[in-house]
Chain A
């Protein structure tokens, strides 16, 4: 039987007395691409951090590649876990002075032994990751001289250099202009086609419908809805999700949602 990369059973996550999800039964397999949608404060980031094993769930079981969380992402197992799942945080912290190449090479950490230094192979992987997010000529630039969108792409390149099988992306499109939003979504679609699994918190239901095969809606009161994006993402559900009426427009086979 094919083991799911991510599996939640009767998962309950709360934050600050607010319920993010209750009794969530959910499986993410290789090749799947999930969008997580919900209004501000619904707990999308909290859920994603829980899925990454960075905070403990309140109830229920959670596992990545068969390893139980949060235990498997802490202590000795943390490095092995980092070779399987990658996590893009919503907040990029300013490091001490550092070049773009150094920042990307940080993603190679889980693949390197204790006494290893980054090899030419690691540098090749990091360079390829930079090319994929259109930062090819930026390797020697100082991170502090980058714009917000460039920094976001740098964080994505770091994640690509990590080469995980499961990508947990918290708002991967923040600060990106339209063309880079499309490029980034297409790049993750390619990763999913190649056998990775994608879980991305997104804000535009149109992007979710266009690039993700599945969607998980968080209604903000602990209720949730998961399924194929074609079925789950519709104007009725979205109107309930955002508390604002939305209309669906169709163009060339794509569906877009605009405020009604």
Chain B
């Protein structure tokens, strides 16, 4: 494990990376902007098209991207510990399915963007409570039972989404598909997601060592003084809430939640720091945020003025990087 000092250094470096990615997002776009304009916009000056574009469009969008990426990476890291399964991602337990049913129903009914976000959040919470209630049934609450319940609820939501897509009028289809693939253009305000991300980190970090123990098995964790049942319930509810907020802000952006925690974990293992959640959780949140900011900047600029759904880019970028790292990971370290 890293020493506390080294962990803080790594986090400071990642914060620097996050700031750089945000600056890049502010400077890049179909309207070219000078570096001085970026600084003037950030210092609160007004006047000029470039400054208005930065303050009114690019900054909120970049912050929303950062918050969503952070939320998804943090939720994914928590789910991977909770289920002790490297395949777990924030959506594995049906949260995005529930949100999609809510959002697409709202679009079908022609509701406003705000109401659609509300419906997505309600759908996510409904799926979360459904899975929790069903898996909790006889209080045994094993990982397999939780996973199976989540997968089944997700499958049910998938069927409803397919149904909505098949009966929706042509005009709505494009918006629905963008929502399903994840799109930051629909983010109204970055602040709820940023606040929830900060709160999520504040709540989980004091429990990070407990999560380290949980990753080594329930019996060991309980014997060493972790209140396993409470911590597991807490992680589940928190990870679900983080996911619900991210999905409500920007639709179901894939891949970040699965791959960023893995990338960070692989990097930490290669550096000989093991799988310490005290560094992994904040590092994953910062890396996830930066990655989504960069991916969204690309999504806005690659074939500008047309925009791509950012979820497509996260996957296109993430798949080769991940496979490369996985392939280079030695099976046994001496």
Contact = CB atoms under 8 A, between A and B. Distances in A.
Contact of A97 (B206, B209, B269, B334): B269
Contacts of A49: 219
Given A114-B206, A117-B3, A142-B333, A96 B224 contact: no
Contact of B223 (A54, A75, A140): A54
Interface string A128-171: 00000000000011101100000000000000001000000000
B222 interface: yes
A76 B224 contact: no
B31 to A, nearest CB: 46
A109 B272 CA distance: 21
B209 A98 contact: no
B227 A109 contact: no
Contacts of B220: 89, 93, 106
Contacts of B269: 97
A99 B274 contact: yes
A251 to B, nearest CB: 38
B281 interface: no
A97 B275 contact: yes
A110 interface: yes
B230 interface: yes
B100 interface: no
Contacts of A82: 223-225
5 contacts: A54-B219, A78-B225, A91-B219, A106-B213, A162-B224
Contacts of B173: none
A236 interface: no
Given A74-B229, A98-B275, A93 B206 contact: no
Contacts of A102: 1, 274, 276
Contacts of B207: 114
Interface in B246-265: 265
A78 B222 contact: yes
B209 A109 contact: yes
A169 to B, nearest CB: 12
B212 interface: yes
B188 to A, nearest CB: 36
Interface string B204-228: 0011011011011101101111110
A67 to B, nearest CB: 13
Given A78-B222, A99-B272, A106 B212 contact: yes
Please give me the 10 A-B residue pairs with the lowest Cβ-Cβ distance, nearest first. A82-B225, A79-B225, A93-B217, A96-B275, A87-B223, A110-B225, A117-B4, A78-B225, A142-B333, A95-B216
A95 B230 CA distance: 21
Contacts of B138: none
A217 interface: no
B170 interface: no
B332 interface: yes
Given A102-B1, A109-B213, A112-B209, A89 B219 contact: yes
A73 B222 CA distance: 8
A98 B274 contact: yes
Interface of B: 1, 3-4, 206-207, 209-210, 212-213, 215-217, 219-220, 222-227, 229-230, 265, 269, 272, 274-276, 278, 332-334
Nearest to B265: A96
A230 interface: no
Contacts of B226: 78, 109
B223 A52 contact: yes
Given A142-B332, A145-B332, A95 B215 contact: yes
B274 A107 contact: no
A144 B332 contact: yes
Interface in A88-134: 89, 91, 93, 95-99, 102-103, 105-107, 109-110, 112, 114-115, 117-118
B223 A76 contact: no
Contacts of A97: 269, 274-275, 333
A107 B223 CA distance: 10
B169 to A, nearest CB: 48
Contacts of B1: 102, 105, 118
A107 B212 CA distance: 12
Contacts of A79: 225
A80 B225 contact: yes
Nearest to A155: B220
Contacts of B3: 117
A256 to B, nearest CB: 33
A112 B207 CA distance: 12
A86 interface: yes
Most chain B CB inside 10 Å of its own CB: which residue of A102, A118, A141: A102
Given A109-B209, A112-B209, A142-B333, A93 B216 contact: yes
A145 B334 CA distance: 7
Given A76-B227, A109-B226, A145-B334, 5 more contacts: A79-B225, A98-B275, A102-B276, A103-B216, A110-B225
Contacts of A98: 274-275
A106 B216 contact: yes
A102 B1 CA distance: 6
Most chain B CB inside 10 Å of its own CB: which residue of A78, A81, A86, A145: A78
A147 B220 CA distance: 20
Most chain B CB inside 10 Å of its own CB: which residue of A79, A109, A141: A109
Nearest to B80: A96
